Structure 1
Amino acid sequence: MTSGFSRLRREDLLKTACEVIAEQGFGHTRTIDIARAAGVSQALLFYHFETKEQLFAQAFAYVARLHRDALDDIERSPSPPLDRLRTLLKLCSPSIPSEGWRLWIDAWAEAMRVPELETLARRLGTQCRLLMREIIEAGIECGEFKCDDPDATAWRIFALIDGLAIQTHVHPKALSRRRVNELIRTAAANELAVPVEKL
């Protein structure tokens, strides 16, 4: 049975792994880099994670879990749909500097070759879209939104967010973060027939 200390050490190692991978990328990160950043030996690293691939997959799962927890908070919130949508857009927006986005983009590339990463990325993406669809449907029901196809709208908004995230992190001088935020808010407002200033 895993002790509390061991679980805490594992969490610390995953957090450090995420930081190193976000900085160096999956393809350029070695286990020795993570061990050094964490101040531990490679032997201890492999005590917790049997292979480099397992460590990388679990590091991404750690980030995904944190994001899922935030999504769950939005889902459980008693706030009106418009407020919940605003919170979801802020959570997912690449206009906010985040090492999580760098890790996420790198994981997409790796997911084409690593089934475990593909499964994790797909599940988290699906949860985001389903939550947005549920918020839109609730907003239609209470009269806050007008939308003929909530599912298609959720797909389009997240496709825009994902595309802008890539532009923001791969080409940081292409768009200002303020402009990125404006583009997302305007698209959501147009999709749902609400004034952009409300988002």
Structure 2
Amino acid sequence: MTPGFSRLRREDLLKTACEVISEQGFGHTRTVDIARAAGVSQALLFYHFETKDGLFAQAFDYAARVHLDALADIERSTGTPLERLRALLRRCSPTQTPDGWRLWIDAWAEAMRSADLEATSRRIDTQGRSLLRTIIDDGVAGGLFVCPDPEAATWRIFAVIDGLAIQIHVHPRGLSRRRANQLVRTATAAELGVQVSDL
């Protein structure tokens, strides 16, 4: 097996693992479920990943890399702070696909008992906050935003996004997606001194 093929096969397995874990949850997913979904034997699965816990941690790390790559694209953008803010709010919207949020929410719960998942989860959160803080700082410096405490605003905006995501995906009948997006935009506009219509 060539190194290139092995690397591609590994990425395919991680992608499939994320899909299965998102559907069934960390606690209910078996390695045989992932192997079956990927169309491979458990032996091949364990050729790439020595243990179930190792597979789960690397699957979440794979999902994290995909998300962090998207954040990096926004970070490298030459758009205005407002344009980058809109892109970040779209990327992190609580109304993003259920599969993605189910994986994050489940991983947050598991992270309380897994050092590997906690480290990956913390890395994602830190990068997201860092990007938002940079956007806010740039907007304040350019006179687009009015925000006396960008660090606190960053925490509050993400707290609203994460909290609403949990409500939508754990209690889907309690809040409409349209209303959730409106609440995020309203909270963000209030934090940054802009009009909701700007977002």
TM-score (norm 2): 0.98
Equivalences for residues 89-108 of structure 1 within 5 A: 89-108=89-108
The 1:121–1:2 alpha-carbon spacing in structure 2 relative to 1, beyond 3 Å, is: farther
Residue 74 of structure 2 contacts residue 84 of structure 2 at CA under 8 Å; is this kept in 1?
yes
| Paired residue secondary structure (2:94) | coil
Per the alignment, residue 27 of structure 1 pairs with 27
Which residue of structure 2 lines up, in the alignment, with residue 157 of structure 1? 157
Aligned to 1:82: 82
Question: What is the CA–CA distance in structure 2 between the aligned matches of 1:95 and 1:113, rounded to whole Å?
Answer: 27
Partner of 2:132: 132
Ranges in structure 2 where 5+ consecutive residues have no aligned partner? none
CA distance in structure 1 between the partners assigned to 2:31 and 2:187 by the alignment: 42
Give the corresponding residue for 1:173: 173
Q: Is the 8 A contact 1:140 1:146 kept in 2?
A: yes
Paired residue for 1:198?
Answer: 198
Say whether 1:43 aligns with 2:40.
Answer: no
CA distance in 1, matches of 2:160, 2:2: 42
Distance of 1:98 and 1:132 partners within structure 2: 23
Is 1:81–1:136's contact at 8 Å kept on the other side of the alignment? yes
Cα drift, residue 149 of structure 1: 0.6
Contact 2:98–2:169 under 8 Å retained in 1? no
Give the CA deviation at 1:94. 1.4
How far does the alpha carbon of each residue in 1:2-43 deviate from its partner, in whole angstroms, 9 at most, with x for none? 611111100110000000000000000000000000000000
TM-score w.r.t. the length of structure 1 is 0.98
Secondary structure in structure 2 of the residue aligned to 1:123: helix
* C-alpha distance in 2 between matches for 1:59 and 1:101: 15
Q: Secondary structure at the match of 2:172?
A: coil
CA deviation after TM superposition for structure 1 residue 96, in Å: 2.4
Letter in 2 for 1:75: E
Quick one: percent identity of the two aligned structures?
A: 71
Unaligned runs of 5+ in 1: none
Alignment partner of 1:58 is 2:55: no
Displacement of 1:98 after TM fit? 3.7
